[in-house]
Structure 1
Amino acid sequence: MAGPFDIEEIYPDGGDQPLRLPRRQVGNSSQGVTVTLLADYTVRTRAVLPSAALVALLSEMGVTPAGARTAISRLARRGVLEGSRQGRHSSYRLSRVAAANLSAGGNWIVASTTSATAWDGRWTIVAFSLPQDRSTQRRALRGQLRWLGYAPLYDGLWISPYELTPLARAQLDQLTDGAVTVFRGEQVPVAAAGHRAPIDAWDVAAIDRHYQDFLHRWTPLAPRVRAGQVDGAAAVRARTEVMDTFRRFPILDPRLPLELLPAGWLREPARELFAAVYDGLAAPAEQHVRAVVARFTDRATTGIRAHSTADLLAGVRDDADAKGR
């Protein structure tokens, strides 16, 4: 099973242009924090923010000014950000492709943890074989399978309790050149020693510990959020951190069937706690981001808009796209 920080890309690739979102590392990387910050407040509008404002906001989250500027520059080279200049002042916004990816990713994060899809007792098996000299392609395929909710039961044999969607099939075709076979069927129990059940492809005990750690970390904050006692930079930082932590759960626990899991599985309590913190801090966090940005620009800050988990589930889209422009 992959640990929560082994994920090469937490969001799907897509769009008409090359795009490389930052890798997820142990702790919060400066690029990851930058992407989360921009996604949380500008993914709908792709608002342009002064680089000085971004540096100030990132500094409040523990990123050094030098680290913030480096992160912004690297994200621009990756195609995640688009830059512009007015005199000596630079500004940045999410690229259209990045905004679309982040919107899809936000929907996936919430939808994948909202409820378990009814399971028909069958498994989808993806078997592939790639030569040793195609290691880059093999890593890309494994990363894509992880994102699709698959786990390796054996080397080269990955499984999921749910059907392979047409989009997923197309993505696998692009990565394998046909060196893949997909089956769907029920497990046939055998009494042989060393028998391995499909659910063993996931380290259920480790996933449970991650849920427990999440609940332990964020439960004490929830009453303060409900009482309106968290605002300013603290609200932005907490909202960014809770998203940066929670978004790993759909990879760790891709809606595994509850009938295969221990009683009292913590997926739902974790999702409810995430929503309580993330949604509860939306208004004060948005207010603070607007205030910081206003210090560095004469433009109106109406393009800065926090969204809720309900917005993510419904699908947060670029306003220009939504209006057909």
Structure 2
Amino acid sequence: MTEDLFVVEPGEVDGTADIPRPQTLLLTFFGGYVLRRGVQVATASVLDVLRRLGVSEHATRSTLSRMARRGLLYRTRRGRNVYLGLTPRLREILHDGEYRIWHMGAVNTQWDGTWTLLGFSLPESWQRQRHVLRSRLLWAGFGSLQGGLWIAPSPVDTDAVLNGLEAAEHVKVFQARALPPTDVSELVRNTWDLAAVAAHYRRFLHRWSGPTLPAAQTDSLGRQLLLETEWLQTIRQDPRLPKEHLPHDWPAVRAQQLFHLLHAELDPAARATAAEVLDTIPDEVGASDPDT
């Protein structure tokens, strides 16, 4: 799961930092240019790509080493070159991000009134387990209703959310519908900070539709990676609440349209650049993976 891989750091989407942290950029890169392609990519190529965005060689190498230690990447040496491959765990994470970007709309327009309710009570000493569980719940679109009761505005694959968590045995899950006297619009306003979610979309619109675009000094490949990274960081703040319970001026759809427009404009040149600069070899380890 993605409990701490897509966590937004201060400044990543609030306009106080121009470049997201190296790990988020690397996840975007591997998702766009390695996943499903049946290849491993040279470390030198990865360093070159992130250098275009102002990330130092030291920062990139440190992040790659940390990802390898966590079981996300594996290495193959060919002569003097080292190539990086995706582990099954990283493939799962990247597929999740890919689905969020390309297959889920920014607004939930098909809600049938079903809520997923999840309750838990963990020992006070389980601080780390509580943090990981909450991170996964936020990523899955849950909001804290009260105490240890969390809700999401649609059916959720909670098996995937809880997979591998020690805290799973302390969790109870239900599906339900709101009944009078519950005011669903008020419930939504009280459970989620709608102003904060909308602000993320408006910052994205401001940064990418203004006269000076982010990373204007780099090429199309760098701009595309930054665009996609910032979009994923923006939508991961959004629980995709039902359209009928959102403000009339909700900016998510406009932001999504801008993202798709800019991505389509950048993609041909970005792909051409990637074909020139990326040194790859066949991924024999993952060659039988259906994703490739």
TM-score, reference length from structure 1: 0.74
Give the drift of 1:125. Answer: 2.4
- The equivalent of 1:47 in structure 2 is 39
How far does the alpha carbon of each residue in 1:223-275 deviate from its partner, in whole angstroms, 9 at most, with x for none? x9xxxxx9994211211111111113443222201111110312211111111
- The equivalent of 1:213 in structure 2 is 203
- The equivalent of 1:25 in structure 2 is 9
- The equivalent of 2:246 in structure 1 is 261
- 1:27-106 correspondence runs (5 A): 27=12, 28-106=20-98
Give the drift of 1:173. Answer: 8.2
Letter of the structure 2 residue corresponding to residue 284 of structure 1: A
- The equivalent of 1:140 in structure 2 is 132
User: Secondary structure, in 3 states, of the residue corresponding to 1:92?
Assistant: strand
2:114–2:153 Cα contact (<8 Å) kept? yes
For these two proteins, the number of residue pairs brought into alignment is 280
- The equivalent of 2:270 in structure 1 is 285
- The equivalent of 1:321 in structure 2 is 289
- 1:215–1:136: structure 2 CA closer, same or farther, 3 Å change rule? same
How far does the alpha carbon of each residue in 1:189-244 deviate from its partner, in whole angstroms, 9 at most, with x for none? 379xxxx624321111111111111111112479x9xxxxx999421121111111
How far does the alpha carbon of each residue in 1:152-179 deviate from its partner, in whole angstroms, 9 at most, with x for none? 1222111122124464576498632144
Could you tell which deviates more after superposition, 242-251 or 162-171? 162-171
- The equivalent of 1:116 in structure 2 is 108
Letter of the structure 1 residue corresponding to residue 193 of structure 2: D
Q: How far apart, CA to CA, are the structure 1 residues paired with 2:119 and 2:287?
A: 41
1:233–1:288 Cα contact (<8 Å) kept? no
How far does the alpha carbon of each residue in 1:282-304 deviate from its partner, in whole angstroms, 9 at most, with x for none? 211111122223xxx5x68x99x
Give the drift of 1:106. Answer: 0.7
- 1:155–1:50: structure 2 CA closer, same or farther, 3 Å change rule? same
How many percent of aligned residue pairs carry the same amino acid?
A: 27
1:84–1:92 Cα contact (<8 Å) kept? yes
- 1:279–1:232: structure 2 CA closer, same or farther, 3 Å change rule? farther
- The equivalent of 2:15 in structure 1 is none
How far does the alpha carbon of each residue in 1:25-70 deviate from its partner, in whole angstroms, 9 at most, with x for none? 2331112212211221111114222212211111111111222222
Letter of the structure 2 residue corresponding to residue 85 of structure 1: R
- The equivalent of 2:16 in structure 1 is none
**Which sections of structure 2, spanning at least 5 residues, go unmatched?**
13-19
